Amino acid sequence: MPRNIPVGNGDMLVAFDDLYRIRDLYWPHVGQPNHTCGHLQRFGVWADGQFAWMDSPGWSRNFSYKHNTLLTEVRLRNERLGLELVCHDAVDYWSPVYFRQVIVTDLWNRPRDVRVFFHADLSVNESPVGDTVAFDPQTGGLIHYKNDFYFLFNGSHPAGVGVTTYATGAKRIGEAEGTWRDAEDGMLSRNSIAQGSVDSAVGFQLTLAPNGSETCVYWIAAGKSYDEVHALNKKVCEKTPQRMLDRTEAYWRLWSQQESSGADPLPKHLQQLQTRSLLIARTQIDNGGAIIAANDYDITHFAGDTYSYMWPRDGALVAQSLVLSGQSELSRNFFRFCERVRHPDGYFHHKYNPNGTVASSWHPWLTEKPSLLPIQQDETALIPWALRQHFVKFRDVEFIKSLYNPLIVDTANWMISYRDHHGLPLPSWDLWEERRGVHLFTVCATIGGLLAASQFAQDMGAHDRATDFSEAADRMRLAMLKHMWDPERRLFARTAIAADDGSYRLDFTLDASAYALFAFDVLPANDARVCDHMRAIRDRLWVRTEIGGIARYERDPYQQVEHREFENVPGNPWVICTLWFAQWLIAKATTIAELDEAIPYLEWTNWRASSSGVLAEQYHPYTGAQISVSPLTWSHATLITTSMQYRLRHAELSGAQLPVTQHAAIDGASA
C-alpha cells in the first residue's frame, strides 16, 4: 500500500498506509532500521459498546497536511459509531518524538463514553527476537526495548498524563494474534510485561458531552536508553504536546516559506504541488546526508528488499532539485556523505545504507579483462555534475575546497581511466539496473561529469587538468555520435554491446532516459538529432489510455500490467519519464507559447498525485492506481526540478525577474 502522509524530521520517519495505519517507523536514520518491518500498527475506537479499527468498513477518510507543513490533517468519520475524528500527526522538528493528536466529536447529540486505542507491533532493530515491553510506572506509559533501542509509548488526555489502560502480550507465537484483539471489547488486560515476540496496546478514555469534543494526544519517544526516553517524556510534559506540535508546525511553515518577487507563471495548484513535493522529499532525507530513494516496506513482498538506500544517481538528481529550491544545507550534507562513502579509487558502489555502509546489490563481480566493476557508472559521473550545479548556485568556495580532490579530481581521473579504445565508458549496469553494456544515459552522464570537473579545474587554476577532462568529454561525445547515432533511423541506440571485432552491437529500444542528451549538456535541446529522438519517445512511449503518461521504455517488464497491447501500453507510466519530456520542451522553448507546451505534463503529474500530494514511482495504465513504492523521492525531485526550470526559462524568455526563490534550509536554534 502507498505511504500517503509520511512525517519526519531527518532522524525519525513515520509512514502510514492508505487506511491510516502506521506501517513504518525508522530511527535513528531515515530508512534504517525499520522497527515495524511493515507490520500493522492499529488505531481503533470503542463507543457505547461498539468497536471499529481504522481499517474496518464504515470509515470515510480524508488525508492531507496543514498548509505548507509536515503536520497532517486527517479527517475520519464513522456514522455507525456516530463519531468524527480529526487527527494531527507530526514528528517534532527537533526531537525523536512522534505525536498524534486526536480530536473526537459526537455526532448523535448525546453524552458518550469513547475509548481510543493504539496498538504497537514492533520488531525492535528489525527483529522480534529478544524484545521486551513493560509498563513504566514512572511515566505512566509502556516501553518497548532491546539492546540500545528504547521506545516509550505514552499520551495525555483531559484527566492527565499517562495511558488510561494498557496490555502487553505475545504476537505470532502459536495462536497468539496480539494484544489488539484484547481491545475490541473496550477493555485491556493490564498485563504489565511480556518478552520475546511481543506487542502492546494502550487506551485513553474520553467523556463527550452532546455534540461535544474531547482531545487525547499519543506519542512515541525514541532513545538509546531508558534515561533518554524518560527525559524526552519529561520534556513533552513540561513543554506540553500542544506547544511541541505548534512549534513543529511553525518550523515547517518557515522552512517552506517562499519569497515572492513578482507574479509566478505557474498556476497556483502547481506551485502548491511543488512546495508539497519539497516537504515530502525532506521526509526521505537523512540528517546524515543520505538521500533515500523510498521508504515503503511493502515493496519487500515483490522484490525481497526495500528501496531504503542511497543510490548516488537518485541522490545526485534529488540534490539538483534541492539546489534549484535553495536548500543549500541539504545539498551540502549530501555531498559530504558522498565524500565519506566513495571508493578510494574514485568511483561509487551500487548503493549505500543510510549509515554509510555499502548496501545490498545484485551486480556481480566479473573477471573479464580489463576487470569490470559491479557498478553503474552514471552514479559516479553525476556526483561532480550535481556538485557543479550546487557551486554555480551558492558559490561556497570554502565548502568546495575540501571536496575538490575526492569528488572532482579523483572521480574525473577514474572516469578517464575507465574507458574503452573508442573513448566510451567501459560496460557497466544501466540506470534501470537491468542490463550491462555501454548505455546512452551513462555516456551522457559521464560527459556531463567530465565537463563539470573541467570547469572546476579551470576555476582552481589547474588548466592542464581542465584540458584533460574537457578533451576526454569531447572525445566521448564524438564517439557517441559515431557509434550510437543512426542517421537512417534518426535515433540514438539505447545500449552498445562490444563485439569481438572491436565494433558494437546496437540496441535501439526507445528509452525515456535519452533525455540525458540535453540534460547534461551533451547536445543542445534543439539539436535536430535530439529533437527527432525526443519526438519518437513521445510517440512510442506515451500510454494510450485514459491515464496517459510516458513509460520507461518499450515493453518494460517491471511491475508489468499489460502483456498484450504494447502498441498502446508500452509499459506503466512513470512520473520521472513524463516530466523528462516536459524538461525537453522547456529547454528548447524560444517563446512563451512553446514553453507552455510543458504545462500539460505538469498537470498530468498533479492529476496522479494523491490528495496529500504524494507521488508514486509508477501508475496502473488503466486505473491510475499507484504501483511500486510511494512516495518515490525521485518523482518528487523531478517535479521540483521541472517546475523550477519552467520558472527560470519563463524569466529568460519574458525578461522578467525570477518570481520565486526558495529559502535555504533552517537549522533549529533551540530544542
Q: What is the pLDDT of residue 667?
A: 41
- Fold observed for domain 7-255: Beta-galactosidase; Chain A, domain 5 (2.70.98)
pLDDT (mean) for 530-551: 98
Residue 648 has pLDDT above 90, yes or no: yes
**Nearest CA among 30, 10, 652, 630 for reference residue 309:** 30
- CB environment 191-209: b (16+ within 10 A), e (fewer): beebeebbbbbbbbbbebe
**Pairwise CA distance, residues 524 & 526, whole Å:** 5
Share of the chain above pLDDT 90, in %: 89
- CA angle, residues 519, 372, 413, in degrees to nearest 5: 55
Residue 593 has pLDDT above 60, yes or no: yes
pLDDT (mean) for 412-422: 96
pLDDT digits (tens, 9 = 90+) for 283-335: 999 999 999 999 988 888 777 888 999 999 999 999 999 999 999 999 999 99
Q: What is the pLDDT of residue 663?
A: 43
Confidence of residue 7 (pLDDT cuts 50, 70, 90): very high
How much is the CA Rg of the chain, to the nearest whole Å? 26
166 with 142: CB under 8 angstroms? yes
pLDDT (mean) for 426-438: 95
On the CB side of 605, CA atoms within 13 Å amount to: 34
* DSSP single-letter state for residue 404: I
Residue 144 has pLDDT above 70, yes or no: yes
Type and span of the H or E element at 518: helix 516-519
Residue 662 has pLDDT above 50, yes or no: no
Q: What is the pLDDT of residue 365?
A: 83
- Residue 57 in grid coordinates: 468498513
Residue 658 has pLDDT above 80, yes or no: no
pLDDT digits (tens, 9 = 90+) for 345-369: 999 999 999 999 999 998 888 766 5
Residue 464 has pLDDT above 60, yes or no: yes
Give the long-range contacts of residues 391-396, CB within 8 A, separation 24 or more: 391/456, 393/323, 393/324, 393/326, 393/328, 394/323, 394/328, 396/328, 396/332
Q: Return the minimum-mean-pLDDT range out of 167-171, 350-354, 565-569.
A: 565-569
**Pairwise CA distance, residues 619 & 608, whole Å:** 8
Q: What is the pLDDT of residue 499?
A: 87
Instruction: Tell me the CATH number for domain 315-508.
Output: 1.50.10.10
- Tell me if residue 283 falls in helix, strand or coil: helix
Backbone φ, ψ for residue 506 (5° rounding): -110, 140
**Nearest CA among 331, 380, 330 for reference residue 351:** 380
Judge if 7-255 and 315-508 fold alike in CATH terms: no
Looking at every residue in the chain, the average pLDDT score rounds to 94
Confidence of residue 263 (pLDDT cuts 50, 70, 90): confident
Residue 603 has pLDDT above 50, yes or no: yes
Report domain extents, the chain.
Answer: 7-255, 315-508
Q: What is the pLDDT of residue 382?
A: 98
